[in-house]
Structures are given as structure tokens and as C-alpha cells.
């Protein structure tokens, strides 16, 4: 009798453990119809742990609105769409993989360049995380209009009567488990894990269009060699143990920055590029320090002008951007408390932005 009771007790304990384990293995990804908000900003301190990030100490100029759509494409489960980028994802079993995307171009920083991967890249897995490792190679095809470029490559194209560039490049994408970590999203401290991503883009062949397409050897020309040099992008992705969806990202190379994804829209942040704006000034009101966030902007030179309320120019600052999505720090002079007007002009002298700036005292 005692043996029967003992065995029954063992069965109950085992069932309880299995029930708990089953609950622990329940993971969630994106759902069609979801709307996500991505907040991003440059970092000026070399963070390597998500547990060291304090959202309350960061400033975000705008929120990128991302729609989750059920995909009709082959081998694709979901698509993430925003005005700035797209992702094509496949959720199969315990693994989330990416099949392609539209994002900032690897060589010139141009916006929304499409990359279709020959082989899908696993980016997250809900089981056996500590041995997660993948190395995938894929050829990609890119086309550039010379009129969209700037700097030495634009001068080279004009000098050689080149109107377009056609590039075949190799992408090597490595994803691997890094460590356990935690992240405070202001509502709760999330326990999770980190996947390191290293994406390397290398030139295979280069063609230029004059009267007809010609193959050129980029290694024989300094401008072409530097313009199409190998580019490496390195970032950490943070995942909640309960989800296959990326919660946050630390971009380490080429620019140190932070991204945070949430289902909630916080504060009065505008939607990035929802009204075709190319640049956002933040924080506004300010105690003195401000930054400019460029979104889908044309690469080139710009001028920032600060004007007082009676229309007198009081400060100007020339700068340039090298990527379509970039942040610029403005070293404003000491300003008295009050309301000012500012404008931003492109290299053709065209005004692309004109708004108010409020300066407050500490």
C-alpha cells in the first residue's frame, strides 16, 4: 500500500514538472496584425551589456511604426513593414529565420536597399540556446544610380561619364549565442539571452554603365577600392526567454547605437517619417544640448541656422551626413532662456526644415 502511494506521489510530481516545463517552453513571436514601435538612438558610451542600459537616461527623437503582416511569399511566415525598412521572416518550430530585408545599404548608407538571401539565416531559437551557431553565405545584387551618391565616388562617376553602378557582393552572416542577460524596459526587468550577429559584405564584381555596361577592376582605382571596401556590421540582439521576437539591439559597428522594440508607444514622440520629414531635433524643449536625427535623408552637406524671435541670425553650423539614417550632435552656444527658430538647408540651399526650439533653464 505504501509502495502504491509512493508511486502515485512520484507520478503526480512528474506530471507537475512536465506541466511546468511545458509552460516554460511556451514562446511567442510576432502575430499578424501587431503594431510594434522601434525607438533608436546613438550611444556615447561603449555599452556591452543590456543590463547596463537605462531607458530613462536615453533620448529618442521619434518612434518607427512597424506593422506585422502575414506573408504570401514562399517559405515566409511573417513580414515586418515600416516606412524605413522591411524584414521577411520564417518561423518554423523553435527557430526564427530571416530570408531577406530592405534596409540601409552596406556600402553607401542609402535607404531601403533590398537584400534577398539565397539561404535563410537563423536569428533566434527557443531551445538549446547555448549551442546556437550559424554561418551562412549568400551572394547579393545591388544597383546604384550615380545621381544618388556623393563625395569622391560621385566626382569619379561624373568624370568617367558613369550613370550607374552594378554590384555583385558576398554576404557572410554569422549568428551565435553569446550569454544570458537582463533588460529593464521600465515596466519589468526581463530575463533573456543575447545572440551576436556579424555581417560582412565583400565585393565580388563591379560593373559601370556608360553607353553600355562595362566590368571594371575596383582594385586598380583608389576611389573604387575605398568606396567598395569590405564592410562589417556587428550587433547584439536581446531576446526575452518567453519570445522569439528581438526585444532590443546594441549596434557595435560601424556606429554605436541602441534600438528598443515594444508594443507600446510612449509619450508624444512623433512617428519617424510619417509626414515625410527627413530630420528631427531633440530634445525640445532643451537645457542646451540637442541632436539631429536624419531619417531617409539624402547624403551630403547641410547647414543649421538658429534665429531669434525678431528674425536675426545668431548662430550657424555646417555639417555633412554619410548615411541616410544618422544622428548629429549640435554644439550650440550658450543661449538665454526663451523661444528660438531654427532652419536646416541642404547643399543646394533649399530649406528642408523650419521649426521652433525652446530653451529652458535648469
- What mean pLDDT is reported for the chain? 87
Low-confidence winner among 1-5, 191-195, 322-326 (lowest mean pLDDT): 1-5
Which DSSP category does 233 fall into? E
How far is it, in rounded angstroms, from Cα 37 to Cα 83?
Answer: 12
Q: Which is more confidently placed, 304 or 360?
A: 304
pTM of the predicted protein model: 0.82
Band (pLDDT 50/70/90 cuts) for residue 28 is low
Shared fold status for 27-262 and 279-359: no
Give the CATH architecture of domain 279-359: Sandwich (2.60)
For every residue of 1-61, DSSP letters joined together read: -HHHHHHHHHHHHHHHHHHHHHHHH--B---TT-EEEEEEEE-SS----GGG--GGG---S
pLDDT higher at 323 or 233: 233
Three-class secondary structure assignment of 107-152: CCCCCCEEEEEEEEEEEEECCCHHHCEEEEEEEEEEEEEHHHCCCH
Mean pLDDT of 161-171: 96
State percent of the chain over pLDDT 70.
91
Q: What is the pLDDT of residue 13?
A: 32
- Fold (topology level) of 27-262: YmcC-like fold (2.40.360)
Span 176-190, mean pLDDT? 93
The structural domains of the chain, with segments of one domain joined by +, span: 27-262, 279-359
pLDDT of residue 21: 37
In this prediction, residues 222-239 reach a mean pLDDT of 97
Q: How far apart are CA 185 and CA 248, in angstroms?
A: 10
Give the per-residue pLDDT at 8: 45
Amino acid at each position: 500500500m505504501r509502495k502504491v502511494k509512493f508511486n502515485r506521489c512520484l507520478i503526480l510530481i512528474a506530471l507537475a514538472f512536465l506541466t511546468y516545463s511545458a509552460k516554460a517552453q511556451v514562446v511567442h513571436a510576432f502575430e499578424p496584425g501587431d503594431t510594434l514601435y522601434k525607438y533608436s538612438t546613438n550611444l556615447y558610451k561603449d555599452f556591452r551589456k543590456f543590463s547596463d542600459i537605462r531607458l530613462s537616461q536615453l533620448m529618442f527623437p521619434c518612434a518607427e511604426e512597424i506593422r506585422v503582416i502575414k506573408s504570401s511569399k514562399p517559405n515566409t511566415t511573417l513580414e515586418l513593414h515600416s516606412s524605413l525598412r522591411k524584414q521577411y521572416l520564417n518561423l518554423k518550430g523553435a527557430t526564427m529565420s530571416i530570408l531577406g530585408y530592405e534596409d540601409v545599404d552596406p556600402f553607401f548608407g542609402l535607404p531601403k536597399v533590398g537584400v534577398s538571401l539565397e539561404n535563410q539565416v537563423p536569428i533566434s531559437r527557443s531551445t538549446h540556446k547555448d549551442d546556437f551557431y550559424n554561418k551562412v553565405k549568400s551572394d547579393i545584387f545591388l544597383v546604384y544610380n550615380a545621381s544618388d551618391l556623393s563625395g569622391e565616388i560621385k566626382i569619379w562617376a561624373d568624370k568617367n561619364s558613369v550613370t550607374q553602378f552594378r554590384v555583385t557582393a558576398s554576404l557572410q552572416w554569422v549568428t551565435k549565442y553569446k550569454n544570458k542577460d537582463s533588460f529593464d524596459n521600465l515596466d519589468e526587468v526581463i530575463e533573456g539571452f543575447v545572440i551576436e550577429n556579424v555581417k560582412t559584405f565583400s565585393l565580388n564584381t563591379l560593373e559601370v554603365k556608360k553607353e553600355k555596361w562595362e566590368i571594371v577592376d575596383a582594385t586598380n582605382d583608389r576611389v573604387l577600392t575605398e568606396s567598395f571596401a569590405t564592410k562589417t556590421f556587428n550587433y547584439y540582439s536581446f531576446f526575452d526567454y518567453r519570445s522569439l521576437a528581438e526585444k532590443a539591439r546594441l549596434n557595435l559597428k560601424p556606429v554605436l547605437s541602441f534600438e528598443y522594440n515594444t508594443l507600446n508607444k510612449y509619450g508624444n514622440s512623433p512617428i519617424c517619417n510619417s509626414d515625410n520629414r527627413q530630420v528631427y531635433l531633440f530634445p525640445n524643449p532643451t537645457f542646451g544640448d540637442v541632436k539631429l536625427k536624419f531619417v531617409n535623408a539624402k547624403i551630403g552637406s547641410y547647414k543649421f541656422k538658429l534665429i531669434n524671435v525678431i528674425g536675426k541670425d545668431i548662430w550657424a553650423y555646417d555639417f555633412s551626413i554619410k548615411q541616410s539614417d544618422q544622428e548629429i550632435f549640435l554644439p550650440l552656444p550658450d543661449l538665454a532662456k526663451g523661444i528660438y527658430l531654427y532652419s536646416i538647408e541642404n547643399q543646394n540651399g533649399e530649406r528642408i526644415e523650419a521649426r521652433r526650439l525652446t530653451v529652458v533653464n535648469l
